Amino acid sequence: MPLLLPILVGLLYAAGIYLMLRRSLIKVILGLVILGNGTNLLLFSTSRLSSRQAPIIPQGMTQASATMTDPVPQALILTAIVISFAVLAFTVVLVGRAYQKLRTDDMDQLRSTDS
């Protein structure tokens, strides 16, 4: 299990970067999605997977005990999900507008247009 997550993160990053280097804009969008999921899994793997107590400090205690789950990676994952969704929405609108205007999603043909 400890070796499975880094391998999966590496595969997601490799697949995402490979798709982002393709000529089709649709593949670039899919690469962004896969890269975002790889980032979320990377942040998730930093939180030391274990079944611990919820990160709620009981009344009367002044600090958290060592058996509580770290809430920071969960907050980072939530932020990363929101940011990746915003980037994905912007990219989809940008690619849709470029396709409406130029009728192609090939990167080489987009470079050669003057309009």
Instruction: Answer for the pair 20, 32: CB distance below 8 angstroms, yes or no.
Output: yes
How many angstroms separate the CA atoms of 111 and 12, rounded? 28
Q: Who wins on pLDDT, 81 or 58? A: 81
pLDDT of 5 over the 70 cut: yes
At residue 79, the pLDDT reads 92
Task: Give percent above pLDDT 70 in the chain.
Answer: 86
How far is residue 112's CA from residue 60's CA, in Å, rounded to a whole number? Answer: 68
Q: Which domains does the chain have, with CATH numbers?
A: 4-49+70-112 (1.10.287.3510)
- What pLDDT shows up at residue 17? 97
pLDDT mean over 66-80:
82
Q: Is 59 helix (H, G, I), strand (E, B) or coil?
A: coil
